Amino acid sequence: MAHGLDKAETHSPTWRWLGLELATVETGAAAVVMPTRAEMGNHAGVVHGGFISLLADSAMGRSVATAYPEGERHYSFDLKLTFISPGRIGESLRAVAKVLHSGRRTGVAECRVEGDDGRLIATATASFIVYLPKE
Amino acid sequence: MAHGLDKAETHSPTWRWLGLELATVETGAAAVVMPTRAEMGNHAGVVHGGFISLLADSAMGRSVATAYPEGERHYSFDLKLTFISPGRIGESLRAVAKVLHSGRRTGVAECRVEGDDGRLIATATASFIVYLPKE
Amino acid sequence: MAHGLDKAETHSPTWRWLGLELATVETGAAAVVMPTRAEMGNHAGVVHGGFISLLADSAMGRSVATAYPEGERHYSFDLKLTFISPGRIGESLRAVAKVLHSGRRTGVAECRVEGDDGRLIATATASFIVYLPKE
Amino acid sequence: MAHGLDKAETHSPTWRWLGLELATVETGAAAVVMPTRAEMGNHAGVVHGGFISLLADSAMGRSVATAYPEGERHYSFDLKLTFISPGRIGESLRAVAKVLHSGRRTGVAECRVEGDDGRLIATATASFIVYLPKE
């Protein structure tokens, strides 16, 4: 569910649990930050790709919300990620998402996930099915 | 890091934190189960796609491990998901992964994620960069 | 545009130009064959991945048509491929596609592309936006 | 096979057959143009997505070549596309590709495909397996 640019937003259970925070938001874009912690580690001792995926999906969904009026709903349908360098346990990861397309039935966004030193951790694209509010 | 078919495996921090369990494993395939809980919910009240992505990535990585000798390492490089129906908070999700290709430098796996009534929740493919043990 | 299981189908310009042929079709599945020729080669002397992508997209689109009534239209929206082994110039490539989901707004299919010796050349998934005929 | 920034490049059979031309090239980026013609049409009378995929793959491969020394080889491994608006028969499509990562074993590029009026037709990402020349 989306609330455009309304800043007083209520976080979802996932955002609260993992500590995701909206860093910036404007029409067509959003940046979301996620702190990482020891429980997010994989066998190689770096951040499990699934959490990076979750962060990217969250930021892209948030960006898509800014492109539609209050009351629309959108669901990620396709999610594509490329993992480029590992996330280190303890650093905050930042996902910067941008809307590429906002049609009546579908929305498309892309995203970069960066480490706290700005290195590129992953790149992602997502497609969303959009339900516009009844007029 | 991979342990082939060794059953006495040590879970990664992520697996322990989220309660992922290996349900079945054989050469070229693995099934992993993840319980879901209220903290995994998104704004729409269903399981956040990021956790489904995490589960699929985990199962595919685990399946790839079975295709290589002890000591290899593999890292997911590309992850592609299609979300088909929502996961309900409280149900256990099951990811069934199969290896499609296990080359000297890359491995490829696919995965279905199912709800506890067997409905298809998501489908996924992943490519892995593989480092074989030195001979 | 889709014609379900109607066998007397008219091929699109692309199918005629490249010689694509429907090998088998049934509800929820279709196999399409494409001969390859010297003009389809890349710098490495094997079939350009773009033609493999075209074949996979065609077979998945054809399979999705079987899942809907006459008069629906569908457009591929997301296309994801993994290339596993090269296609050899001169061999016929066969794309075997299967519908994973056929909803009111979206359809999802997957596909294997095989060489004429049955080896796996590529695997693909596609999502389609579906427009059902007005009732 | 890659030739970095060498302008006197020999086109592959596919490029010659379909008329692909390198529009611009610099370190880390390349733009490739493809004219479209009636034979590239699908049933809906617009450019078959497979040709858009082929163009995007070509431009991304060309951009990756600029990031490595003479003698490297690279093969597209994963290709992910989102189709946003149809290509019209007769217009020239332009794929603008940029390298996101150029490591010792893998390269990653992204691409926008635009119509001749600049509208966004598709967005794509690809991963490449890289073989560096022996030193």
The span from the CA of B113 to the CA of B130, in Å, is: 24
User: What pLDDT score was predicted for residue B8?
Assistant: 60
> Taking CB atoms and an 8 Å cutoff, what residues of chain C touch B100?
82, 84, 120, 123
pTM over 0.90: yes
CB C127 within 8 A of CB C77: yes
CB B26 within 8 A of CB B63: no
B contact residues 65-84, partner A, Cβ 8 Å cutoff: 73, 75-83
> Taking CB atoms and an 8 Å cutoff, what residues of chain A touch B55?
50
Instruction: Label each residue of B36-97 as H, E or C.
Output: CCHHHECCCCEECHHHHHHHHHHHHHHHHHCCCCCCCEEEEEEEEEEECCCCECCCEEEEEE
User: What pLDDT score was predicted for residue B1?
Assistant: 39
Q: pLDDT of chain D along its 135 residues, tens only?
A: 344 666 567 899 999 999 999 999 999 999 999 999 999 999 999 999 999 999 999 999 999 999 999 889 999 999 999 999 999 999 999 999 999 999 999 999 999 999 999 999 999 999 999 999 876
Task: Please indicate whether residue B90 or residue A2 has the higher confidence score (pLDDT).
Answer: B90
Does some domain include residue B2? no
Percent of chain A scoring above 70 in pLDDT = 93
Does some domain include residue B6? no
Q: Is C135 exposed, middle or buried (0-12, 13-18, 19+ CB in 10 A)?
A: exposed
Q: Is the pLDDT of residue B9 over 80?
A: no
Does some domain include residue C59? yes
Tens of pLDDT, residues C16-71:
999 999 999 999 999 999 999 999 999 999 999 999 999 999 999 999 999 999 88
Q: Which two tokens stand for residue A56?
A: 């990217």
Min distance A110 CA to chain C CA atoms (Å): 13
**How far is residue C102 from each of residues A40, B107, C84, C108, measured CA to CA in Å?**
35, 30, 27, 7
Neighbouring CB atoms inside 10 A of A38's CB total: 11
User: What pLDDT score was predicted for residue D7?
Assistant: 54
Provide the pLDDT confidence category of residue B103 given band limits of 50, 70 and 90.
very high
Q: Taking CA atoms, what residue in B is nearest to C119?
A: B101
> Taking CB atoms and an 8 Å cutoff, what residues of chain C touch A78?
77-78, 80, 127
For chain C, the residue count is: 135
The alpha carbon torsion through B121, B123, B129, B133 (nearest 10 deg) reads 70
Provide the pLDDT confidence category of residue C2 given band limits of 50, 70 and 90.
very low
Task: Please indicate whether residue B130 or residue C1 has the higher confidence score (pLDDT).
Answer: B130
CB pair distance less than 8 Å for A125 and D100: no
Question: Strand pairing partners for A129?
Answer: A75, A106
Residue type, A86: P
User: What pLDDT score was predicted for residue D2?
Assistant: 44
Q: Which two tokens stand for residue C73?
A: 């239209």
User: What pLDDT score was predicted for residue B2?
Assistant: 44
> Taking CB atoms and an 8 Å cutoff, what residues of chain C touch A77?
78, 106, 127
**How far is residue C72 from each of residues A78, B83, C12, C126, D84, measured CA to CA in Å?**
22, 22, 17, 17, 19
Can you tell me the ipTM of this complex? 0.94
CB pair distance less than 8 Å for A120 and D101: yes
Of D38, D51, D77, the CB nearest to C54: D51
User: What pLDDT score was predicted for residue A18?
Assistant: 98
The alpha carbon torsion through A64, A68, A70, A73 (nearest 10 deg) reads -60
Of B80, B84, B120, the CB nearest to C80: B80
- Cα Rg of chain A (Å, integer): 15
Interchain contact D12–C (C-beta under 8 A):
yes
Of D78, D82, D125, the CB nearest to A127: D82
The residue with tokens 């921090």 is: B13
Q: pLDDT of chain A along its 135 residues, tens only?
A: 344 665 567 899 999 999 999 999 999 999 999 999 999 999 999 999 999 999 999 999 999 999 999 889 999 999 999 999 999 999 999 999 999 999 999 999 999 999 999 999 999 999 999 999 876
The span from the CA of A40 to the CA of A48, in Å, is: 6
Does some domain include residue B126? yes
A contact residues 17-76, partner B, Cβ 8 Å cutoff: 17, 38-44, 48-51, 53-55, 57-58, 73, 75-76
Q: Is the pLDDT of residue C135 over 70?
A: no
User: What pLDDT score was predicted for residue A1?
Assistant: 39
Q: Taking CA atoms, what residue in A is nearest to D121?
A: A101
Mean pLDDT of C63-82: 94
Does some domain include residue D8? no
Mean pLDDT of B63-90: 95
CB pair distance less than 8 Å for A75 and B44: yes
Q: Taking CA atoms, what residue in C is nearest to B110?
A: C123
> Taking CB atoms and an 8 Å cutoff, what residues of chain A touch C127?
77-78, 127
Q: Which of D82, D113, D120 is the best residue to mutate to test the A interface, defined by the most A CB atoms within 10 Å of its own CB?
A: D82
Percent of chain B scoring above 90 in pLDDT = 88
User: What pLDDT score was predicted for residue D134?
Assistant: 77
C20: CATH: 3.10.129.10
Angle ∠(A105,A108,A114) on CA atoms, nearest 5: 155
Min distance B90 CA to chain C CA atoms (Å): 24
Min distance D43 CA to chain C CA atoms (Å): 5
Number of helices and strands in chain D (H, E) = 2, 6
> Taking CB atoms and an 8 Å cutoff, what residues of chain B touch A16?
39
Q: Which of B81, B129, B130, B132 is the best residue to mutate to test the D interface, defined by the most D CB atoms within 10 Å of its own CB?
A: B129
Q: Strand A29-35 vs strand C106-114: parallel, antiparallel, or unpaired?
A: unpaired
Does some domain include residue B125? yes
Does some domain include residue A1? no
Interchain contact A108–D (C-beta under 8 A):
yes
Query: Could you list the residue range(s) of the whole structural domain that residue A88 is in?
Result: 13-131
**How far is residue B14 from each of residues A38, A50, A101, B24, measured CA to CA in Å?**
8, 9, 34, 19
Number of structural domains in chain B: 1
